[in-house]
């Protein structure tokens, strides 16, 4: 009996072996009547996905429920549901797979997560697949032409950070469809394009023509909508008032609708919403399952839904000669929905205000401390100064030290739970290796202005490169008690 586990070094190990997936409701936009949503959702339901191979590396997709056992933190769990792979034969066929990345300046905020997740995606790509890595600004960029060498494809993704410019999504996609049509050996070969973009192309009227060309050439398009830099720093159109804002909102909606139609008209799938940036690797894993169909889905109920992924040690045992299960990823929907509320608040003022209606969630994924300082006056008004100190050693560290961006969201509520002040801001965090050796931290300072009184302070810090969160909930006093 062979087992695979997810322990305290979980996330990076799992992503590097991504033949797996955690599913939770609401990721793909689908047509009415679609049967793709096979995973039930419950606050205590943990869902795990994984592949199983034999000693020669062939997929074992025909195993039955009685072959599997699941342990969580060494405790056996009753399997609540079991979903075998869609591809029962497990044999790969010819496939041409292209990634088309929006590498214009408007998508810089999510690019690190995209690149990391896509690199992990390659680990589960079947050997009969030709992979091409492309990007676009105002033109199509070839990072890596079609190749069967996984290492070359992974290396090419690092170049996706190096280009800025305007967005020419539909012109670039049109050229890529032509390239794939000319390179494939037979018209019947499967051809897949995964497009990652904020859809902010003024030429969105070209969507229908590009979708028609793709369908004619047997190309299926998977579209992934990510937030733009404008959303990060300005917020969603419609937060203000006036005719100009209404026009911007209508244009944005038309662009996103045109983008989604690329997939819906070519037998692909469209992915949108905050799940796509909360766990980008899982979005790609959903595509992996749809394209290859080699993933087992198993669920069980946990007695500890509040546990972090790093605290949840899951073991999947397979009773079959020579079976080798892959690494797995797990999800507890309720915890994901709590974290999603913080992510949404970064991009949407309405979502930020709704934080006052929800129960404060406990997240400590970044080593950070909140110091609330004595209230002070500024221009005749009282304010609550505070600072957040972030340890760089809890972040991604490279040879150059730490270079990342943070989002700060917060609410100051009166004793009746009504919003008094809101905060939403972004800042860069950089430290050199020498500064880290000297014990320097990344420090954020601000002040919330409010009348004298007792308040509830809800504050969250998010690392935009990994979407890890640390949240603070404190009772604070402004002025004299």
We report the CATH number of the domain holding residue 243 as 3.40.50.410
pLDDT single digits (tens) 409-420:
989 999 898 889
- Residues 371, 468, single domain; the answer is yes
Residue 211, pLDDT > 90, answer: yes
Same domain, 281 and 323: no
Domain boundary among 275, 304, 336: 336
Is residue 137 one of the residues assigned to a domain? yes
Q: What is the pLDDT of residue 326?
A: 72
Q: What per-residue confidence (pLDDT) applies to 310?
A: 65
pLDDT exceeds 80 at position 254: yes
The pLDDT value recorded for residue 290 is 87
Please identify which residue in the block is written with the tokens 């199509």: 140
Q: What mean pLDDT do residues 329-354 have?
A: 70
- B/e letters for 226-241, b = 16+ CB within 10 Å, e = fewer, are bbbbebbeebbbbeee
Q: Which helix (H) or strand (E) holds 210?
A: helix 207-216
Look at 69 and 153; give whichever has higher pLDDT.
69
Residue 361 has pLDDT above 90, yes or no: no
Identify whether residues 120 and 25 lie together within a single domain. Answer: no
Direct distance between the N- and C-terminal alpha carbons of the chain, in angstroms, rounded to an integer: 65
> pLDDT above 70 covers what percent of the chain?
74
pLDDT at position 244: 41
pLDDT at 308: 64
| Residue 420's CATH number | 2.60.40.3880
Q: Quick one: 112 and 241 in the same domain?
A: yes
Contacts of 23 (CB under 8 A, 6+ apart): 39, 47, 49, 282, 286, 297, 331
- When pLDDT is cut at 50, 70 and 90, the band that residue 336 belongs to is low
Task: Give a yes or no: residue 348 inside a domain.
Answer: no
Residues 271 and 321 occupy one common structural domain = no
Q: Indicate the average pLDDT of the chain.
A: 78
Assigned domain for 311 exists = yes
Q: Domain check: are 192 and 149 in the same one?
A: yes
Left if phi > 0, otherwise alpha if psi is -120 to 50, otherwise beta: which for 57? left
Structural domains in the chain (count): 3
- Residue 341 domain flag: no
Range with lowest mean pLDDT among 61-65, 387-391, 397-401: 397-401
- Final residue belonging to a domain, choices 254, 272, 290: 290
Domain assignment present for 343: no
Among residues 422, 413, 418, which one has the least CA distance to residue 235? Answer: 422
- Does the residue 346 lie in any domain? no
In this structure, the answer to whether residues 325 and 424 fall within a common structural domain is no
User: At CA 148, angle to CA 145 and CA 149, rounded to 5?
Assistant: 90
Instruction: Give whichever of 102-111, 240-249, 260-269, 306-315 has the largest mean pLDDT.
Output: 260-269
Asked if residue 66 belongs to a domain, the reply is: yes
pLDDT tens for each residue of 9-22: 333 223 222 222 22
Same-domain check for residues 125 and 224: yes
Highest averaged pLDDT of the listed ranges 100-114, 230-244, 317-331, 427-441 = 427-441
Q: What are phi and psi of 226, to 5 degrees?
A: -115, 155
Shared domain for 67 and 120, answered yes or no, is no
> Between 328 and 174, where is the model more confident?
174
Average of pLDDT values for 383-388? 92
The model's pTM: 0.67
Least trusted range by pLDDT, from 165-179, 271-285, 366-380, 414-428: 271-285
**Is residue 347 domain-resident?**
no
Residue pLDDT, tens place only, 130-168:
999 998 888 899 999 999 888 888 888 766 665 556 779
Range of the domain at 248: 95-290
Q: How confident is the model at residue 302 (pLDDT cuts 50, 70, 90)?
A: confident
Same domain, 175 and 243: yes
**Same structural domain for residues 308 and 200?**
no
Say whether both 26 and 145 belong to one domain: no
| Highest mean pLDDT: which range of 17-21, 155-159, 289-293, 386-390 | 386-390
Per-residue pLDDT tens over the stretch 162-207: 555 677 999 999 999 999 998 877 777 889 999 988 898 999 999 9
Structure confidence at residue 311 as a pLDDT band (50, 70, 90): confident
């Amino acid at each position: 009996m062979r087992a695979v586990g997810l322990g305290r070094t979980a996330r990076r190990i799992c992503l590097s072996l991504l033949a797996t997936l955690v599913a939770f409701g609401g990721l793909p936009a689908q047509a009415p009547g679609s049967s793709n949503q096979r995973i039930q959702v419950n606050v205590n339901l943990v869902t795990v996905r994984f592949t199983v191979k034999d000693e020669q590396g062939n997929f074992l997709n025909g195993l039955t429920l009685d072959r599997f056992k699941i342990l969580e933190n060494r405790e056996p769990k009753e399997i609540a549901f079991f979903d075998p792979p869609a591809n029962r034969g497990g044999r790969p066929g010819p496939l041409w797979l292209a990634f088309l990345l929006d590498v214009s300046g408007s998508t810089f905020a999510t690019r690190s997560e995209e690149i990391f997740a896509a690199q992990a995606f390659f680990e589960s790509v079947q050997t009969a697949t030709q992979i091409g890595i492309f990007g676009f600004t105002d033109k199509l960029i070839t990072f890596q032409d079609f190749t069967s060498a996984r290492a070359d494809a992974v290396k090419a993704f690092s170049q996706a950070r190096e280009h800025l410019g305007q967005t020419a999504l539909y012109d670039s996609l049109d050229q890529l469809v032509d390239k794939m049509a000319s390179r494939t050996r037979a018209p019947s070969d499967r051809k897949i394009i995964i497009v990652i973009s904020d859809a902010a192309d003024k030429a969105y009227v070209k969507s229908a023509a590009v979708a028609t060309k793709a369908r004619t050439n047997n190309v299926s398009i998977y579209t992934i909508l990510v937030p733009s830099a404008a959303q990060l720093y300005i917020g969603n159109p419609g937060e203000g008032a006036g005719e100009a804002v209404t026009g911007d909102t209508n244009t944005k909606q038309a662009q996103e609708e045109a983008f989604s139609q690329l997939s819906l008209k070519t037998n692909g799938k469209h992915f949108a919403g905050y799940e796509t940036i909360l766990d980008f690797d899982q979005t790609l894993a959903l595509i992996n399952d749809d394209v290859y169909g080699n993933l087992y889905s198993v669920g069980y109920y946990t007695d500890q839904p509040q546990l972090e992924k790093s605290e949840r040690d899951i073991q999947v045992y397979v009773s079959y000669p020579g079976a080798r299960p892959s690494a797995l990823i797990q999800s507890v929907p309720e915890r994901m929905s709590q974290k999603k509320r913080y992510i949404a608040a970064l991009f949407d003022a309405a979502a930020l205000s709704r934080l006052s209606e929800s129960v404060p969630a406990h997240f400590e994924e970044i080593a950070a401390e909140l110091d609330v300082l004595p209230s002070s006056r500024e221009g005749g008004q009282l304010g609550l100064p505070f600072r957040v100190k972030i340890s760089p050693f809890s972040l991604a560290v490279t040879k150059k030290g730490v270079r990342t961006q943070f989002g700060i969201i917060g609410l100051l509520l009166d004793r009746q739970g009504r919003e008094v002040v809101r905060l939403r801001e972004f800042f860069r965090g950089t430290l050199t290796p020498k500064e880290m050796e000297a014990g320097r931290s990344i420090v954020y300072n601000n002040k919330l202005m409010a009348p004298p009184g007792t308040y509830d302070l809800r504050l969250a810090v998010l690392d935009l490169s990994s979407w890890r969160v640390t949240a603070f909930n404190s009772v604070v006093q402004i002025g004299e008690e």
